[in-house]
Amino acid sequence: MIKKQPLARTEGLIIQELPDEILVYDQANDKAHCLNETASLVWKHCDGQKDIAEIAKLVGKELNASVKDEFVWLALDQLEKESLLEKETEFSLKTMGISRREVIKRIGLASVIALPIVTSLLNPMSAKAATCATPCTPTTVPGLCGTPLNPTTNCQAICVSGTGLCQPFP
């Protein structure tokens, strides 16, 4: 049964508190997430006991501002998308049948507090190995593959005989 009170996931996460932000590293998928101040406040109140209206009230009190339920929905939508909520809760805007644009409109563009934002990054050290392992196209430099080798990671790579793959070349 889907719960109506959001519950923050904690297992497998490394959580680093920063001034006005939280950095979360998910060891299950090697993704790092930066929660801005307002997303952090919402996430901290996701204890599986409080419903959305209660969270909105508490966040509003901490920020000394009026916070609508939609504001909390916007945060929960991102937290859920990044698997930072327990699975027995479901809070995506999609299930609500409203768009992100509509929610922002309801919150009001003139909102005095920053919208909740979760910025995420797949640890490129895991991506690097994967993206460098591309089929070899040896160039004029013996053994080296492609120029530029990878526009995303800019990793240098070298053609490994036998495997037909490029491997990182630090």
Which positions lie near another protein, rule CB under 8 A? 14, 16, 18-23, 25, 27, 30, 32, 34-36, 119, 121, 123-126, 140-144, 147-149, 153-156, 158-163, 167-170
Q: Please state the closest distance from residue 95 (CB atom) to another protein, in A.
A: 28
Q: Is 43 exposed, middle or buried (0-12, 13-18, 19+ CB in 10 A)?
A: buried
Q: Please state the closest distance from residue 87 (CB atom) to another protein, in A.
A: 23
Tell me whether residue 110 or residue 141 sits nearer to another protein (CB atom).
141
DSSP designation for 42: H
**Structure-token pair, residue 137:** 């196209």
> Contact, 38 vs 115, CB < 8 A?
yes
145-169 core/surface letters (b: 16 or more CB in 10 A; e: else): bbeebbeebebbbbbeeeeebbbbe
**Structure-token pair, residue 46:** 């996701």
Q: Please state the closest distance from residue 32 (CB atom) to another protein, in A.
A: 6
Tell me whether residue 96 or residue 127 sits nearer to another protein (CB atom).
127
Between CA 72 and CA 43 the distance in angstroms is 9
Q: Please state the closest distance from residue 40 (CB atom) to another protein, in A.
A: 9
Q: Please state the closest distance from residue 125 (CB atom) to another protein, in A.
A: 4
Tell me whether residue 53 or residue 125 sits nearer to another protein (CB atom).
125
Nearest alpha-carbon partner for 72 in 94, 52, 47: 52
Phi and psi of 42, rounded to 5°?
-60, -45
Tell me whether residue 106 or residue 169 sits nearer to another protein (CB atom).
169
Tell me whether residue 108 or residue 164 sits nearer to another protein (CB atom).
164
